[in-house]
Chains A and B, each alone.
Chain A
């Protein structure tokens, strides 16, 4: 079977700023941070850390109570982002007799329904309850988000979840991409969601000493990728979804095509659980370029993994310099995590949206708070204020704990 072109016809997210897609991208371009200080009342030690929360998200209002009550927050966020992307694609939520037997869902989440299980532990260990609701099983399961999505949209093809830590969503998007490109699926709904505010999760991250410190005043500037004074990453909850569609199917129904997804490559560092390796990242980048049939001179923007850890940022820049060689100084690079935080299993999805919007709007969003570039991170064209420029093709990097690397390649649509 000949390879199909893959159109991105729908984008949707639960924005940490509370607005829609265009508002999200406009705020990124203004360098506006969504990071705030999270303070909890947890016992024995409350959490206090810079974090990104979707404070305006109203699950009952958005989804209806009967649907919302059968979901953990990661699935609620997933469903809301999905509906938004589906509406954006101009597709009907009901099948109305349309055959969607080949349409599927590939969803990324590193934590799944962790909050549901944590609630169960609290009920038993703290509140002395001896039993848990039977629905906890289907609320907590990792594939709850994609299962609900497939049910709600009548998708009869594959429905699966991908748990690959910080690369979960990029791998979900890539696997969905392959199914549309091969002709196996006409439409794939993909993306990711995560809720790392679970007490046991956030406290464990804190113990790893990679989280940026902060207080109510300093939290918005807490995440400073590539900066000399960077102090670590900022976790966040959220969800983003994309509709991938067979190019001809999209054209035939007159759908708006935001951008084209043209390549996906992966690799594993295979040497350490947390220390990234430039060599492994280089292989993922080169695999993606080869898959996309793109040369380095055609890549005008890279949305970096850029988490703002001491160790990770220079390694990523080193990998980019190896791959781009003499073009490295010309490629625009930014880490939008400086504003929307690190969404773990949803990171690849929200960053794919930022990358697609950059191509659509021909504007590279900046790395916020990058006043003083670390010499160890120099050598690429760091975007420090949003700039309109011709962007033909772009990459989005996701490099996970465990050494799993995934890179997506996108191309702008001629207008």
Chain B
């Protein structure tokens, strides 16, 4: 599964956010993603891909940054 799809699925399932609004330039806070749902989303990602998101990672502000973060962590885990 691609990162953007996981984000869309999570936001639709948990928060009834229309997947069409979940585009790279969308601001997560404006979609309704608060600090708790961000933690849940990160957890879901870690759980699904068996990856650790470092605790000191800069929290993404837009969907595109979240995708970049996820993709880079997936790539790093596949190299190791």
Q: What residues make up the interface of A, taking CB atoms closer than 8 Å to B?
A: 64-66, 69-70, 131, 133-135, 138
State in angstroms the CA–CA spacing of A200 and B28 once bound together. 40
- Assess whether A65 is in contact with B36, with CB atoms less than 8 Å apart: no
Task: Verify if B15 is at the interface (C-beta below 8 Å from A).
Answer: yes
> DSSP class of B's interface residues: helix, strand, loop or mixed?
helix
B43 / chain A contacts, CB cutoff of 8 Å: 131, 133-134
- Assess whether A65 is in contact with B40, with CB atoms less than 8 Å apart: no
Please name the residue on chain A nearest to B32 by beta carbon. A66
Task: Verify if B25 is at the interface (C-beta below 8 Å from A).
Answer: no
State the interface size on chain B (CB cutoff 8 A). Answer: 11
- Of A64, A131, A133, A135, which is within 8 A of B16 by CB? A64
A70 / chain B contacts, CB cutoff of 8 Å: 14
Contact A66 B47, CB 8 Å, known A135-B36, A138-B36: no
Task: Verify if B18 is at the interface (C-beta below 8 Å from A).
Answer: no
- Assess whether A65 is in contact with B16, with CB atoms less than 8 Å apart: yes
A131 / chain B contacts, CB cutoff of 8 Å: 43, 46-47
- Assess whether A69 is in contact with B36, with CB atoms less than 8 Å apart: no
State in angstroms the CA–CA spacing of A65 and B43 once bound together. 19
- Assess whether A69 is in contact with B14, with CB atoms less than 8 Å apart: yes
- Assess whether A65 is in contact with B13, with CB atoms less than 8 Å apart: yes
State in angstroms the CA–CA spacing of A195 and B59 once bound together. 37
Q: What residues make up the interface of B, taking CB atoms closer than 8 Å to A?
A: 13-16, 36, 39-40, 43-44, 46-47
* Distance of A413 from chain B, by nearest CB (Å): 41
* Interface Cβ pair total, 8 Å cutoff: 24
- Of B13, B15, B16, B36, which is within 8 A of A134 by CB? B36
State in angstroms the CA–CA spacing of A138 and B44 once bound together. 17
Please name the residue on chain A nearest to B47 by beta carbon. A131
Please name the residue on chain A nearest to B40 by beta carbon. A135
* Distance of A132 from chain B, by nearest CB (Å): 8
* Distance of B36 from chain A, by nearest CB (Å): 7
- Assess whether A66 is in contact with B14, with CB atoms less than 8 Å apart: yes
B40 / chain A contacts, CB cutoff of 8 Å: 133-135
B46 / chain A contacts, CB cutoff of 8 Å: 131
Please name the residue on chain B nearest to A129 by beta carbon. B47
B44 / chain A contacts, CB cutoff of 8 Å: 133
State in angstroms the CA–CA spacing of A69 and B47 once bound together. 18
A138 / chain B contacts, CB cutoff of 8 Å: 36
- Assess whether A69 is in contact with B13, with CB atoms less than 8 Å apart: yes
A133 / chain B contacts, CB cutoff of 8 Å: 40, 43-44
Contacts A65-B13, A69-B13, A133-B44 aside, 12 further interface pairs with beta carbons under 8 A come to: A66-B15, A66-B16, A69-B14, A131-B46, A131-B47, A133-B43, A134-B36, A134-B39, A134-B43, A135-B36, A135-B39, A138-B36
B13 / chain A contacts, CB cutoff of 8 Å: 65, 69
A66 / chain B contacts, CB cutoff of 8 Å: 14-16
State in angstroms the CA–CA spacing of A133 and B15 once bound together. 16
A65 / chain B contacts, CB cutoff of 8 Å: 13-14, 16
Please name the residue on chain B nearest to A132 by beta carbon. B43
State in angstroms the CA–CA spacing of A275 and B15 once bound together. 48
State in angstroms the CA–CA spacing of A131 and B47 once bound together. 9
B36 / chain A contacts, CB cutoff of 8 Å: 134-135, 138
State in angstroms the CA–CA spacing of A131 and B44 once bound together. 11
Question: What are the 6 A-B residue pairs with the smallest beta carbon separation, nearest first?
Answer: A134-B39, A66-B16, A66-B15, A133-B43, A135-B40, A134-B43
* Distance of A96 from chain B, by nearest CB (Å): 22
Please name the residue on chain B nearest to A67 by beta carbon. B16
* Distance of A84 from chain B, by nearest CB (Å): 22
State in angstroms the CA–CA spacing of A135 and B46 once bound together. 15
State in angstroms the CA–CA spacing of A64 and B47 once bound together. 25
State in angstroms the CA–CA spacing of A69 and B11 once bound together. 12
Provide a sorted-by-A list of 11 A–B residue pairs whose CB atoms are within 8 angstroms. A64-B16, A66-B14, A66-B16, A69-B13, A69-B14, A131-B43, A133-B43, A134-B39, A134-B40, A134-B43, A135-B36
* Distance of A12 from chain B, by nearest CB (Å): 24
State in angstroms the CA–CA spacing of A359 and B76 once bound together. 69
State in angstroms the CA–CA spacing of A181 and B12 once bound together. 44
* Distance of B52 from chain A, by nearest CB (Å): 9
B39 / chain A contacts, CB cutoff of 8 Å: 134-135
Please name the residue on chain B nearest to A137 by beta carbon. B36
State in angstroms the CA–CA spacing of A133 and B39 once bound together. 8
State in angstroms the CA–CA spacing of A64 and B14 once bound together. 10
* Distance of A34 from chain B, by nearest CB (Å): 33
Please name the residue on chain A nearest to B11 by beta carbon. A66
